[in-house]
Amino acid sequence: MRKPIIAGNWKMNYGPTEAEEFVAVILPGLHEIHDVERVLCPPAVSLTTVHSAIDGSEVKLGAQNMYYEPKGAYTGEISPAMLRGLCEYVILGHSERRGYFGETDALVNKKVRAALDFNLKPIVCVGERLEQREAGETEQVITTQVQGSLGGLPLNRAAEVVVAYEPIWAIGAGKAAHAHDALVVVRLIRSLLEQMYNADVAQAVRIQYGGSVTVANIAEFLSQPEIDGALVGGASLKPEFVDIVRATAEAKGHAL
C-alpha cells in the first residue's frame, strides 16, 4: 500500500513571519487528517521557522531545492548536509528550476543521489511543455527525464523517491490536465521504473500529479488508484490546502 502524499510547494512566497502566521492557520486542520502524508515546502529562509511550528505534529517539512555537494564554495546554495535533520523531503528538478535555472537531467540525477545519501526523500518533478504534448512527444520527453533524473540509484533506496508528474502547461495555469491524460503518463513512469529497477520498486514509488490542483479537481486525480498524491503550488498558499488534504483522505477511502 502506498501512502498518499500531498506536498505544498510555496515557491518564492512566505518569509519567516508570514510562514509562521500561515502555519498557525492550517496546522489545526492538518492535524485532524491522518493516513495522508502532509508536507510543507517553504522557501529555504523559512525552513527553520516552519520546522519549529510543526514540531510534535505529523506534518513533514520539505525543501524546494538543494545542491549536490555537502559543503564548500558554492555561493547561494544549500547542501544536503544542511537539510539533513531539518527536512524529510526535498523537491528536485521542478520545471521552474529546469526552465529558469537551466537544470538538466544529469544535474537532477546528481542531486537525487546526494539527497538519498543524506537520508532525504527526493520529490522529483518531470513534465512536458505544451508544444511537446501537441507534437506527440510526451512519451519521449517523460522517458528521457525519468531515465536521466532517476537512473542508477541504489536498488535498496530507489523506492524512497517520489515522482511528481507536472505537465508544464498546467502549472499555475488555472487549468489542470485531464485526469485520464495524467493517468497515462503515471502508468508510463511506473513502467519505466520497472524497466530501470524492478516491479517491487515500481509498485512502491509514489507518483503525484501536479498542475493547478485545487479542492475542486483533486478528487478526479486521487480517485485513480495509480495516482498517489499531488504537488500543489498556488493552492498550498491558502487555507484550501487543508481541504485538498481532506479530499485526498476521502478519495483514498481513509476514515477521517
- The footprint of ligand PEP (CB under 6 A) covers 9, 166, 171-172, 210-213, 231-235
DSSP structural state of residue 225: T
CB of 201 to ligand PEP, least distance (A): 24
Q: Which of 146, 138, 224, 134 is nearest to 190 (CA)?
A: 146
Q: Which is nearer to ligand PEP, 138 or 201 (CB)?
A: 138
Q: Which is nearer to ligand PEP, 159 or 232 (CB)?
A: 232
Q: Do residues 166 and 95 make contact, with C-beta atoms less than 8 angstroms apart? A: yes
CA dihedral 6→9→13→18, nearest 10 degrees, is 30
Task: Please give the helix or strand (H or E) that residue 124 lies within, else none.
Answer: strand 121-126
Q: Which is nearer to ligand PEP, 166 or 228 (CB)?
A: 166
What residues are annotated to the active site? 94, 166
Q: Which is nearer to ligand PEP, 66 or 202 (CB)?
A: 66
CB of 115 to ligand PEP, least distance (A): 17
Q: Do residues 89 and 121 make contact, with C-beta atoms less than 8 angstroms apart? A: yes
AA identity, residue 159: A
Q: Do residues 132 and 157 make contact, with C-beta atoms less than 8 angstroms apart? A: no
Q: Which is nearer to ligand PEP, 9 or 109 (CB)?
A: 9
Beta bridge partners of 6: 38, 230
Helices (H), the chain: 16-31, 47-53, 80-83, 95-101, 105-117, 130-134, 138-150, 179-196, 199-204, 218-222, 240-251
Q: Count of CB atoms within 10 A of residue 49's CB?
A: 18
| CA 196/CA 183 separation, integer angstroms | 20
C-alpha cell of 75? 555561493
CB of 190 to ligand PEP, least distance (A): 20
